[in-house]
Amino acid sequence: MRPLGPRAGTAPTTRPAVLRTGAGVPGARRAGAVLAALALLVTGACGSQRPFTSILDQETLVIGVKPDQPGLGLKVGEGRYEGFDVDIATEVARRIGAPKVEFVTVLSSNRQDFIQSGKVGMVVATYSITPVSRSHVTFAGPYYVAHQDTLVRAEDRMEIDNVRDLKGRRLCQAAGSNSWRRVKEERQIAVELVPAATYGECVAKLRDGAVDAVSTDDLILAGFSARAGSALRIINAPFTDERLGIGLRKGDLDGCEAVNRALTAMYQDGTAEKLLKKWFGASSLALTFTVPQFEGCA
Amino acid sequence: MTPVHQTAAAPGSVSAPGAAPVPSATPPVPGADHGAPPAVPPSAAPRGAGPSRLRSVPGRVLVITGAAALALVLLFGALSSSFRTVRNGLDVIGHDAGPQVVATADLYFALSDMDTQVADVLLIGDEHGLGKGRKRALEVYERRRSDAGRAVLQASALAGGDPAERRTVQAVLDGLGRYERLAARAMLLDEQAGHAAGPPPRPVLELYRQATDLMRLELLPMAYNLTLESGTVVRRAHEEQSSALRTGQVLVAGTGILAVGGLAWLQVFLARRFRRVFNPALLVATAIAGTYTLTGFTVLGNEADVLHTAKRDGFDSVLALARARAVGNSMHGDQSRYLLDPERADTYEQTYLDKSQSVLYTPSGNLAAYYKAVDAGVDAYPAKNAFLGLVGQEADLARLPGSEAAIIEVLRRYQEFQQGDYLMRKAGPREAVEELVGRLETRFGAYDAALVKLAGLHKTAFDRAVRSGEEQVEELWFLLPVAMISTAVLIVAGVWPRLSEYR
């Protein structure tokens, strides 16, 4: 809507000037004044159209990633992170021409605030695109479509075959994540929710026996189960499609479109396949190596 | 570029013949030719003898003429470059990306419906007469197959030089061949198995899974992303054009003021020096320059509005509805797949809800809540729009004549379709299949047709806006060389006789 502003401003200021000078006394000084006014108008007309800087124009692109999800985003030192999300973010940043990149920690509970306040330019943190999150955040991608699955203790594996067997059991609810809704609200399975701050805490609770199951994206679970060895098992009964998007500030359409083009290129030239295999090749997950259906920048 | 060069040449020819006589003609003026020019002011003689020839009357006439001519060159340059910008913009939006959206959306629709028809054939199994019947499903499958082939060709032609888009179209074409082979094997095996209506035997299901995964995970996303890419192209073109038009308007106004001012200055100078009230030729030249400035300024403003309208009321809605139709078809397919593959039924139910929400969003955690919210929201419309999503946002923008009625129709048919979904999910296994390929199919068809009709309204508005934009520019563009040549001739005609008084 903003482009209307400068245009509406141009018309009334310039039109009377045409009439006045056309009928009146010309002069070199006046011509100079007109030129000066023109210069002002032109600069005004070409000024920026949104109240913030697109990620394409930021000196340093600050990227939010998870600190505690092995395989996706894991903090390994001051300002240093590793995982699939981190590699995707690095590659995207390179392809959209970001001059300098800095990684910071975001959690499911604060990533939306961080984007809205401009603390981070871009969030690559297993961020599911949902109608609700989409109304606050502009999503590029999804860069991958994961599937919700369930992680249980190895000794419970025989009793829990699929998500419906969670009835009456304790399910971990990580703050800011909506995965539990898929079980309790959409599937309407009567589970008892046990809150936790992060999925790392959820997995710790699962080991301690404080919860019976952790249900979320299979990529997240694959990382944890690889670390836990034989103590924890994925039940391998995916029951949703989770579109993992790259969160940008609401309205950064230029940035969003550029990220989508970068993602398309990454899938076309095999970079995405290489990264997926690097981080999840050892797991039993069925991986998809073709570009996901984008959300559309809005 | 040619018109610009022409302008550059025309005023050149004005000043060149003038410039040549100046050095030879001016110095003799004060001494030799007394009395010949009737109105030479006394001050001209001593000044002409001074160091600067520009101070002499003909010198000053030439300087002013040159300045006016230069301003005119700039004015016509600004006009012609702005008009070219507009024409390029309309070309991209109207004849390149616009049709590309339609072609790629057709491609998505054909591909998605192929997969739905295969699922229906497998669900119907041996009971060939159930609902629309196996034969009909096969016929539709064949038709969609040829639609898809045609749409791929068209999308490929419109993709033009963009390498990423061309690769995508090529990948769709390759994948389509693989899909057809898998689907044919699944249907053949299904026929041989001979099962009652409902989920087919395991080997058939496994083949179909390969086929549908190829379709849903690889081909459909590519087709959908092509549609989105056209949206990107249009949005960028529109932003560039709008700012170019604003700059163009300012430049036209500025150069126009200078040109008209220069001509008026010349007029006043000649009137004072030569004691003539009017110089008719110059007066007409001034009028032409003034008219072109005003008209150019106004037309550029109009064009900005035309581009804006074409994008907002036309293109954006056409794109949103094309996406709604694509998502809707794959949501309908998820109903067939939900019945066909019990192991994945949970996933297909969730993707069905997700897709429903992206078509018409209303807060609801599960399908039962969604049906209720849709009922309530549709009943409240148009007094209140409770919806977001692709169709929901369109419901807020009912600006065109007839579009509100068309939206109400879309919403009603959608509501009926969702009610049909409820009936199908609660029916027993066999009845569910009957419901799916019978009543639900009809309801989906009615909803889809209403959506197509609404999109048609916007497509017409879009085409009309693009055409009117083109016509407006075309008229001025056509007259621009005439205006340039005539002002050049008129200036020469107005100044030359005065200068020759000094020969």
pLDDT tens-digit series, residues B249-279 = 999 999 999 999 999 988 888 888 887 778 8
CA distance B56 to B58: 6
B160: left (phi over 0), alpha (psi -120 to 50) or beta: left
Longest CA span, chain B: 118
Instruction: Give B323 to chain A, closest Cα distance, Å.
Output: 10
**In this structure, are strands A192-196 and A170-174 parallel, antiparallel, or unpaired?**
parallel
Among A46, A188, A238, the residue with its CB nearest the CB of B243 is A46
Which of A1, A2, A10 should we substitute to test contact with B (largest number of B Cβ atoms within 10 Å)? A10
Does the pLDDT of residue B220 top 90, yes or no? Answer: yes
What is the rounded average pLDDT for all residues in chain B? Answer: 85
Say yes or no for a CB contact (<8 Å) between B221 and A292: yes
pLDDT tens column, B280-328 = 888 899 999 999 899 889 989 888 888 888 888 888 899 899 999 999 9
* B317 close to A (CB below 8 A): no
The DSSP symbol for A45 reads H
**pLDDT for position B15:** 39
Taking 3-state DSSP, the helix, strand and coil percentages for chain B, each rounded to the nearest 5, stand at: 85, 0, 15
Query: In this predicted model, what pLDDT tens digit does every residue of B434-483 receive, in sequence order?
Result: 889 889 999 999 999 999 999 999 999 889 988 988 888 888 888 888 88
**Contact call for A18 and B218, based on CB within 8 A:** no
Least confident span in A15-19, A294-298, B117-121, B445-449: A15-19
Is pLDDT above 60 for B111? yes
B346/A132 touch (CB, cutoff 8 Å), yes or no: no
Give residue A229's pLDDT: 76
- C-alpha span between B238 and B90 (Å, rounded): 9
Which of B228, B261, B350 has the CB atom closest to A241's CB atom? B350
Residues 155-174 of B with CB under 8 A from A: 164, 167-168, 171
Phi, psi of A160 (to 5 degrees): -110, 105
pLDDT at position A146, please?
93
What integer pLDDT is reported at residue A188 of this predicted model?
Answer: 87
Q: How far is B135 from chain A (nearest CA, A)?
A: 32
pLDDT of res. B365:
82
Spell out the residues 6+ positions from residue A82 whose beta carbon is closer than 8 angstroms to its own: A73, A74, A76
* B30/A209: higher pLDDT: A209
Nearest to B225 among A18, A42, A294 (CB): A294
Of B34-43, B96-105, B113-122, which has the strongest mean pLDDT? B113-122
Place of tokens 């929901």: B392
pLDDT at A90: 96
Contacts of B365 in chain A (CB under 8 A): 181, 185-186
pLDDT at residue B183 in the model: 96
Q: Given a cut of 50, is residue A48 above it in pLDDT? A: no
Return the minimum-mean-pLDDT range out of A101-105, B162-166, B447-451.
Answer: B162-166
Q: Is the dihedral of CA B498, B500, B501, B502 positive or negative?
A: positive
Per-residue burial over A42-61, b if 16 or more Cβ lie within 10 Å, else e, is: beebeeeeeeeebbbebeeb
Confidence category of residue B96, pLDDT binned at 50, 70, 90: confident
Question: Does A4 score more than 50 pLDDT?
Answer: no
Residues in CB range of A123: below 8 A, 6 or more apart: A63, A64, A65, A106, A111, A114, A115, A137, A246, A247, A248
The span from the first CA to the last CA of chain A, in angstroms, equals 14
pLDDT tens profile A220-253: 898 888 887 778 888 888 888 889 999 999 999 9
Does B272 reach chain A within 8 Å, measured CB to CB?
Answer: no
Q: What stretch of H or E contains B439?
A: none
Nearest to B311 by CA among B85, B92, B88, B81: B92
pTM for this predicted structure: 0.80
For chains A and B, count residue pairs whose Cβ atoms are closer than 8 Å.
Answer: 143
Do the Cβ atoms of B222 and A26 come within 8 Å?
no
* CB neighbour class for A8 (10 Å; exposed up to 12, middle 13-18, buried from 19): exposed
Q: Which of A38-47, A85-94, B72-81, B162-171 has the lowest mean pLDDT?
A: A38-47
* Confidence at B184, pLDDT banded by 50, 70, 90: very high
Predicted local distance difference test score (pLDDT) of residue A49: 57
- What percentage of chain A has pLDDT greater than the value 70? 83
Average pLDDT over residues B356-363: 92
Whole-angstrom distance, CA of residue A261 vs CA of residue A82 = 24
Of B89, B82, B95, the closest CA to residue B308 belongs to B89
ipTM for the complex shown? 0.77
**Nearest Cα residue to B261 out of B235, B239, B290:** B290
pLDDT, position B52: 59
Interface of A with B in 228-287 (CB under 8 A): 238-241, 253, 257, 260-261, 264-265, 268
Mean pLDDT, chain A, integer: 83
Q: Is the pLDDT of residue B5 over 70?
A: no
Which DSSP string corresponds to B36-58? SSTT--TTHHHHHHSS-GGGSHH
What is the identity of the amino acid at B452? V
Indicate the pLDDT class of residue A167, thresholds 50, 70 and 90. Answer: very high
Q: What is the structure's pLDDT at A80?
A: 94
Count helices and strands (H / E) in chain A.
10, 13
pLDDT for the residue A41: 47
Q: Does A298 touch chain B (CB under 8 A)?
A: no
**A181 and B253: CB-CB below 8 Å?**
no
* Residue A91: other Cβ atoms inside 10 A: 19
Q: Give the least confident one: A286-290, B13-17, B111-115, B417-421.
A: B13-17
**Nearest-CA neighbor of A244 among A71, A136, A127, A102?**
A127
pLDDT of residue B54: 63
The rounded distance, in Å, linking the Cα atoms of A250 and A138 is 5
CA distance B220 to chain A (A): 7
CA torsion, points A230, A235, A240, A243, in degrees to nearest 10? 10
Q: Report whether pLDDT(B397) > 60.
A: yes
Give Cα A94 to chain centroid, integer Å.
Answer: 17
Q: A12 falls in which pLDDT band (50, 70, 90)? A: very low
Residue B35 vs residue B436, higher pLDDT = B436
- Count CB neighbours of B381 within 10 A: 19
Token pair, residue B305, equals 């509005």
Q: Hey, are the CB atoms on A268 and B365 less than 8 Å from each other? A: no
Position A162 scores a pLDDT of 84
